[in-house]
Structure 1
Amino acid sequence: MKKVITILAVFISTLTFAQDQYTKGMQKAFGLWGEGKTAEASNLFERISTAEMDNWLPAYYAAQVNTVASFGEKDKEKLVKQLEKAQEFVDIAKAISPNNPEILIQQAMIHTAYVVFDGASYGMTLSPEIVALYQKALAIAPDNPRVVFSKAEWDMGSAKYFGQDTAPYCKEVERALELFANFKPESEFHPNWGKDRAEIVAKDCGK
């Protein structure tokens, strides 16, 4: 009995240490990202992902860091390199957690970064995929505020491009803000972004 208790104590201690290392690593990666150290943050999320092979979150953030950095990038070679890395990690995240609405949004964001960079080259091929991803995410998680807002923002951009009324999508942005108000992430590191952006878009609605 004493041997069983000792083994159990060692197991719990090892598990606690591993969890503590994960928490510290993720906090450090977010800190680097917040300081604008994109490459360092991406590399750290990548290392954590390698260690946490059954956890989709580090790979998700490795993808997101590279995707966010690609918006506004003017150098095509750099942009493609960042987005290829983002795709690599979103594929890892999808393998761990299939049909995850947060990962579907991240995939749509990768495609959107290409379209924003060069709509003439990527718009025709990727726009239908983006629409399909948001529809799938909405079917899985109709009350996820990021799903509702991200889809509404994409639809709004498309409407503006084609000279159509954006009012219906403004209502969806308002609905997303209501959902954000009551949203609680599953953990400290689960996705919890989007509210600030939704507030900005809501203020611009109808202008």
Structure 2
Amino acid sequence: MKQIIVILTMLFAGQLMAQTKYESGMQKGLEQFAAAKSAEDMAAASAFFERIADAEKDKWLPYYYAAYTNHLTGWMNPKADKDKVAEKSKDLLGKAEALEKNADTYCMRQMIAIQQLTVDGMSRYQTYGAIAAQAIEDAKKADANNPRIYLVEAQYMINVPAAFGGGKAVAKKLVEKSLELYGTYKPASPFHPQWGKDQATQLLAACQ
């Protein structure tokens, strides 16, 4: 009996240490992400999250953050090959989605599609516009109360001509809904996505 108790105690301690190591890594990664000032800094954060993901193969969040921070490098570096950046983001996001699909992964898929659309809006609108629209629809089905859905939709719609259903008035309604939801939104854990409120506030000012 004593041997069983010792074994169970050791197993529990091992699980606790592994969990603590994961949480410590995620905290460090999020701090690195928040402190990033350049595309190179953001790429380093992405690589850090990817290492966590490869070590914790049953958790979707590290792959999600690896995809998100990689995605941001495409905007932070004006000379970046956005298609190349997007393909890497899609690969990382696919690994997250293999573990869990939710409103935030769908939002990420929309953001990646928009990044590729901007390479050549005229020729890519139908293809990537459709992917982005479907991702938003899927996100709303997954969790219509996630504020980032309406933020990323507004970020896109503000750049769509009013004649095609976009413009500032449309974006304003979306971002107002986003900010309203941020007021009550509670992440499932300290490591779940929380970003976007500051961006929504800035976007609302741009919609005035």
Q: TM-score, normalised by structure 1?
A: 0.89
Deviations 1:24-81 (A, max 9, x none): 21122223332341232111111111111111000001100110111254335x4333
Identity score, percent? 33
1:154 lines up with 2:177 in the alignment: no
Summarize the Cα distance change of 1:23–1:187 in structure 2 as closer, same or farther, 3 Å threshold: same
More off after superposition, 157-166 vs 147-156: 157-166
Measure, in 1, the Cα distance between the counterparts of 2:170 and 2:122.
26
Deviation at 1:17, TM superposition (A): 0.8
Change (3 A) 1:121 1:75: farther
What residue number does 1:86 align with? Answer: 89
Separation of aligned partners in 2, 1:39 and 1:152: 26
Which residue in the other structure is 2:124 paired with? 122
Amino acid at match of 1:117: V
Report the equivalent of 1:203.
205
**In the TM superposition, what are the counterparts of 1:24-39 in structure 2 within 5 Å?**
24-33=24-33, 34-36=35-37, 37-39=41-43
Other-structure match for 1:19: 19
Q: Equivalent residue of 2:189, what SS?
A: coil
Which of 58, 63, 78 does residue 62 from structure 2 map onto? 58
The answer (yes or no) to whether the contact 1:170–1:202 under 8 Å persists in 2 is yes
1:104 alignment partner in structure 2: 106
The Cα of 1:107 is off from its aligned counterpart by: 0.8
Counterpart of 2:73 in structure 1: which amino acid? Answer: A
Could you tell me how far apart the structure 2 residues matched to 1:182 and 1:19 are? 28
2:4 counterpart of 1:4: yes
> Quick one: which of 130, 139, 142 aligns to 1:140?
142
Separation in structure 2 between the aligned mates of residue 163 and residue 138 of structure 1, nearest angstrom: 19
Q: Distance in 2 between matches of 1:187 and 1:58?
A: 13
Secondary structure of 1:157's aligned partner: coil
- Greater CA drift, 30-39 or 88-97: 30-39
Cα distance in 2, alignment partners of residues 203 and 40 from structure 1:
32
Unaligned runs of 5+ in 1: none
Provide closer, same or farther for how the CA distance between residues 134 and 118 of structure 1 changes in structure 2, counting only shifts above 3 A. Answer: same
CA distances 1:97-140 after superposition (whole Å, capped 9, x unpaired): 03x11001101111111122332343332011101110111122
- Greater CA drift, 161-170 or 117-126: 161-170
Residue 87 (structure 1) shift: 0.9
Distance in 1 between residues matched to 2:105 and 2:165, nearest whole Å: 30
1:172-183 maps to which residues of 2 (within 5 A)? 172-183=174-185
Aligned counterparts of 2:206 and 2:96: Cα–Cα separation in 1 = 34
In the TM superposition, what is the alpha-carbon distance from 1:149 to its structure 2 partner? Answer: 2.1
Distance 2:31 2:154 in 1: 30
What residue ranges of structure 2 are gaps of 5+ in the alignment? Answer: none
Q: Name the CA distance, whole Å, in 2 between partners of 1:7 and 1:164.
A: 62
Query: Do the aligned residues in 2 keep the contact of 1:60 with 1:93 (CA within 8 Å)?
Result: yes
Matched residues in 2 for 1:161 and 1:129: separation?
Answer: 21
